[in-house]
Chains A and B, each alone.
Chain A
């Protein structure tokens, strides 16, 4: 059952620019967590950022921030000042069933 949808298979951004990756999800729970994970070429999964559903304030971790729209069940990731090391696959997930979206491959151009 696909409960998380990432509609952008690939995205590209110029170094130092900003890019936004989209994610929508489906859940009947009122309290949950949402996550963005990064998978570089090493294939190690790395947590980028998490959002608690009951918190209205959008989570921020340095250059990474989210735009969480609970009513719309949308959870996008914004990467500011993109760096070459940001190039990776990015996956979103929710902790209700730990299923992941299909991923977005981000390319960073120098």
Chain B
């Protein structure tokens, strides 16, 4: 089945450690997105990419990094520079042409101990 896979679903990290969240899609979508969601809050855009080897900062990119070496993959690294990394992270993708509906993964819950 086509879709977006995020892993891990739950992740614990000690302060000062970097952690990478995986996002893979087999929908042949050009664009991929990372969002952060805090409890009871909306989705805030971290980074997005519309083509391989290119990506742009969203509204809250500080303390995060991404790469887009393959069309299918858009991993997010939460670095030690992110002051408050505990959150729910959602990855999404969409075709740039057409109606541009976003397809979402199931999310990754990161907790910093």
Interface residues in chain A, defined as those with a beta carbon under 8 Å from any beta carbon in chain B = 1, 6, 33, 35, 37, 43-45, 47, 50, 52, 91, 93, 95, 97-103, 105
Contacts and interface: CB of A to CB of B under 8 A. Distances in A.
A47 B42 CA distance: 15
Contacts of A6: 42
Given A1-B59, A44-B106, A98-B33, A50 B43 contact: no
9 contacts: A35-B102, A43-B88, A43-B107, A47-B102, A50-B101, A95-B101, A98-B100, A100-B35, A100-B43
Smallest CB-CB A-B distances: 5 pairs: A95-B100, A45-B104, A102-B42, A100-B43, A103-B42
Interface of B: 33, 35, 37, 40-43, 45, 48, 59, 88, 90, 92, 94, 99-102, 104, 106-107
Contacts of A93: 102
Nearest to A43: B107
Contacts, number: 50
Nearest to B102: A98
Nearest to A94: B100
Contact of A50 (B40, B45, B99): B99
A98 B42 contact: no
Given A98-B48, A98-B94, A91 B42 contact: yes
Nearest to B48: A98
A4 B91 CA distance: 20
Contacts of A95: 94, 99-101
Contacts of A99: 45, 59
